[in-house]
Structure 1
């Protein structure tokens, strides 16, 4: 998937996918562990960034 066709998720959608609270998702964004962008004040997270975060967590746990 290219950047031009990347699917963007809301914080609420990421919360549901990762089963985490709002504060934790924003903490991951602030600490640069989860990449996000802002579009006119709206925070969006690429699906690829969520998948990368999950893979990174799995590698660290192994």
Structure 2
């Protein structure tokens, strides 16, 4: 972490607390916003599965 330093009177160095750096999190999911913009999210949204209206073809041999 970077430290903001300043030189005080008499040449002494004033060491302050470290400046926190932002943490980046890899996107795990995405959603479409109200203006059709893609928004990356840190966690996947909860998805409700649905049944397919199609039925699989049966193979006859």
TM-score interval (norm. to shorter): under 0.3
Please give the TM-score of this superposition, normalised by the length of structure 2: 0.27
- Per residue, is there more helix in 1 or in 2? 1
- Per residue, is there more strand in 1 or in 2? 2
State the structure with more CA Rg.
2
